[in-house]
Amino acid sequence: MEILPSVARAGEARSFGDAWPGDTAMAGADVLLGDESACALAAAGSSLRGTVLVTRVTRVVRSGTRVWCRVDGVLPRGFDTVDLAWPGARLAGATMADVELRDGTGLRRTVRAEVPVRLDGGAPLLVAVRRRACRVRVSV
């Protein structure tokens, strides 16, 4: 049985682990990145803020334990997707699912994350990313 991030610690709406900047916190149903509202940031357009991509979901398709989301903007290349957060979404009844994100260029990333029961197109989405380790090939 998987423990959902939102119930990992009693009394919190959502917990944020090491994948998220230390100043990430809940504010009601919204998420604060420092002192900025994630919902307001997403309304202003897709942007990368350090290790967090702030964007919007433009289309959602669910099938069993998989969720496909087309997102506004461009997923950052050279980064791995680590976790997702859904500002403004109610987490009661949320489940873990494999979420495939696809941006306008066709780039796809998949992450196992908590997904709210109700998720609509236009919903804000935060994507925690981590820079990929550089791989070096050495020939002898």
pLDDT at 10 over 50: no
Distance CA 125, CA 81 (A): 13
Q: Is residue 137 part of a domain?
A: no
Q: Examine the pLDDT at 138 and tell me if it is beyond 50.
A: yes
In a domain, residue 139? The reply is no
| Residue 90 · residue 116 · CB < 8 Å | yes
CA atoms of 129 and 136, how far apart (whole Å): 21
Q: Is 18 left (phi over 0), alpha (psi -120 to 50) or beta?
A: alpha
Whole-model pTM: value is 0.84
What is the reported pLDDT for 15?
78
CA distance 112 to 99: 6
107 falls within a domain: yes
The CATH number of whichever domain residue 70 belongs to comes to 2.40.37.10
Reported confidence tier of residue 1, pLDDT bands at 50, 70, 90: very low
Q: What's the pLDDT score for residue 119?
A: 85
In a domain, 138, yes or no: no
Q: Specify whether the backbone of 88 is left (phi greater than 0), alpha (psi in -120 to 50) or beta.
A: left
Ramachandran sector of residue 134 (left: φ over 0; alpha: ψ -120 to 50; beta: rest): beta
Two structure tokens written together for 140: 């002898």
Domain, as residue range, for 25:
5-131
Count of domains observed in the chain: 1
Q: Is residue 70 part of a domain?
A: yes
Query: What's the rounded mean pLDDT across residues 15-22?
Result: 88
Does 140 reside within a domain?
no
